[in-house]
Amino acid sequence: MLVLGIESSCDETAASVVLNGREVLSSVVSSQIEEHALFGGVVPEIASRKHLEAVSDVVADALKEASVDLKDIYGVAATQGPGLIGSLLVGFCFAKGFACASNLKFTGVDHLHGHLMSVFLGQEVPGFPYIALLASGGHTSLYLVKDYLNYEIIGRTRDDAAGEAYDKVSKMLGLGYPGGKIIDDLSKKGDKKKYVFPRAWLEKDSPDFSFSGLKSSVRRLIDAIPPENIENEISDIAAGFQDSVVDVLVKKSMNAMKKYGCNHFALCGGVAANSGLRSALKEKSEKFGFSLYLPSLSLCGDNGSMIACAGYYKFLNGDLGSFNDEVYARALFKQKNGF
Ligand code: KG4
Ligand code: ZN
């Protein structure tokens, strides 16, 4: 079954053709980062306009790159939410129109479901049930994934998402947007012990996260350093900040593995590209003997392949969308697919 996946929830217009939910035949991502970087974050109105400009070409390129006939595509899957409403509307409405005009099946996909499915596009795939840590710019949650369409949130951030904290700290340090990769790269050169930032463990055994206190703590430190000295301290601040984020993400993930007795663990979302987080999890998987699934770097950030993969399982399940379906901005927690 060939599925065309379309993603437009934030600042990437992306489309992919995926075979049987496993094999990526094409993946085209048009990023708007340069447009938003000028403003230090995503500007929703600019984002939707840019999606509108890009979507037809991105889809056409994905179909061309896959070298498949439109008549061989089974259905179109598009991100329905959560995300920026204007951006979602562009990809979702395009997908509906495209499916309708080409006589293809159609389904909406939850963006977070898509991220969770990104590990099924690799060589090795996890076995159910497994624990997944989904850390992105908008969400940071732990999931118990029971099968392709059934997953439960077992812990979530109470304030900022991990990626959001990276972006904000980068901004405070006068660095660019998005901040994740910049801080990650800087932290490799820094001393993580020079500035030890707090870890928000919350109540005993809490599976939840909180990154806003850490962010404020970085702010206070920056304010206490004379501006002319910041440049010399930047790598050490980045390393200390990353150490705090990774420490909490990894320890809470390991607690969840123990609590639910799982032997497989998957990492997904934009922050899954983080080198410190990937290596800390690899270390833990060797130490405790569990199987670790890390998406390739191109599948960590937003992409159409993960949406096509989630759509494939929805199509298999006969879970078709309707042309009356609407997009949604905020995560759904109590829906039939486990949210
Ligand atoms: O999943 P994603 O592409 O979009 C959302 O759904 O939010 O995630 C983007 C987030 C941004 O906050 C970005 O700074 C973060 O992922 N990110 C990273 C790294 N690469 C991207 N965070 C930490 N380390 C990285 N290497
Ligand atoms: Zn995302």
> Are 2-117+299-316 and 126-294 equal in CATH topology?
yes
Ligand 1 atom nearest 167 alpha carbon: 14
State if residue 114 touches ligand 1 by the CB under 6 angstroms criterion. Answer: no
pLDDT digits (tens, 9 = 90+) for 306-325: 999 999 999 999 999 999 99
Query: Mutation test of ligand 1: which of 12, 30, 109, 166 has the most ligand atoms closer than 8 Å to its C-beta?
Result: 166
Taking each helix axis as running N to C, give the angle between helix 179-187 and helix 227-260, from 0 to 180 degrees, rounded to the nearest 10. Answer: 100
Residue 166 CB–ligand 1 contact under 6 Å = yes
Surrounding ion ligand 2 within 5 Å at CB are 136, 302
- In testing the pocket of ligand 1, which one of 134, 271, 275 has its CB within 8 Å of the most ligand atoms? 271
* Protein fold of 126-294: Nucleotidyltransferase; domain 5 (3.30.420)
* CA 29 to centroid of ligand 2, rounded, Å: 13
274 ligand 1 Cβ < 6 A: yes
Average per-residue pLDDT for the chain = 96
- Quick check: CB of 163 below 6 Å from ligand 1? yes
Q: Where are the domains of the chain?
A: 2-117+299-316, 126-294
CATH number of 2-117+299-316: 3.30.420.40
CB count within 10 Å of CB 330 equals 9
pLDDT in tens, 57-107: 999 999 999 999 999 999 999 999 999 999 999 999 999 999 999 999 999
pLDDT band for 22, please (50, 70, 90 cuts).
Answer: very high
User: How many angstroms separate the CA atoms of 108 and 1, rounded?
Assistant: 17
DSSP codes of every residue in 55-88: HHHHHHHHHHHHT--GGGEEEEEEEEESS-HHHH
Q: Are strands 291-293 and 264-268 parallel, antiparallel or unpaired?
A: parallel
pLDDT of residue 251 exceeding 90, the answer is yes
User: Please, is 125 exposed, middle or buried when counting C-beta atoms within 10 Å of its C-beta (0-12, 13-18, 19+)?
Assistant: middle
- Report pLDDT for 333: 62
User: pLDDT tens-digit profile of 115-173?
Assistant: 999 999 989 999 999 999 999 999 999 999 999 999 999 999 999 999 999 999 999 99
